[in-house]
Structure 1
Amino acid sequence: MSAWLFVAAAIALEVTGTFLLRLSDGFAKWHWGLLSIACYSACFWALSPAMKVLPIGVIYAVWAGVGIVAAALLGLVIFGERLGMVQVLCIALVLVGAVGLRLTTTS
């Protein structure tokens, strides 16, 4: 399996964990919190094989950058959160950086 597929799986698990953490309401709803912890644990398990072949700085930047964009979109679509124009621009810059790193890095 490609290292980038492991990174994609880690991103999906991290974003899911963040979504579940929000649902946990500060761990008041502990079952969502436990699922969140499970997703974060699985995220790191999925990320580790990619670190054998890709630079850690690139992996981390792509993982965090795409996660930021996905979490912001979830907040907008599911939770009705709003972002200002400057915030949207900054998130777009993060995404441009993550895509640029992905396009210029080979395993």
Structure 2
Amino acid sequence: MKASMAWGLLLAAGVLDVLWALSMKQAEGYTRPGWTLVSVALLASFVWLLGRSLTVLPVGTAYAVWTGIGAAGTAIAGIWLFGESLSLARVAGIGLIVAGVGVLKLAP
């Protein structure tokens, strides 16, 4: 697999991680069977994609990028979908995560 494909899989894994977090919220402590199944399917999917990307990418970089996408994406989704607080500190934190992901992506 080429590095560009691995990065694409990693990006997809990050997006699925965000969707997984949102599905866990909807599952309400895994008391709603439909959302629970969606959550488990998303979990399995992003773990598989992350594992595939690790065949090419360094584990430290890939894991940090994946968690960064998940953390920043979930924070943004929480603000947008659930009305979670939006403060200068949260925006700065998200910006730092995104900057860190960018630096890791560009690092040799």
TM over 0.5: yes
> Secondary structure in 2 aligned to 1:52?
coil
Aligned pair count? 105
**CA-to-aligned-CA distance 1:16-59 (integer Å, 9 cap, x gap):** 11110011111121211221111011101111121111110000
Identity over aligned residues, as a percent?
34
* CA distances 1:30-89 after superposition (whole Å, capped 9, x unpaired): 211221111011101111121111110000110001111110111011111113322321
Aligned Cα root-mean-square deviation (Å): 1.3
Q: 2:73 aligns with which of 44, 47, 70?
A: 70
Where does structure 1 differ by over 3 angstroms across 4 or more consecutive aligned residues?
Answer: none
- Structure 1 gap segments, 5+ residues each: none
Q: Distance in 1 between matches of 2:15 and 2:97?
A: 17
TM-score by length of 1: 0.90
The one-letter amino acid of 1:73's match is I
TM-score norm. by structure 2 comes to: 0.89
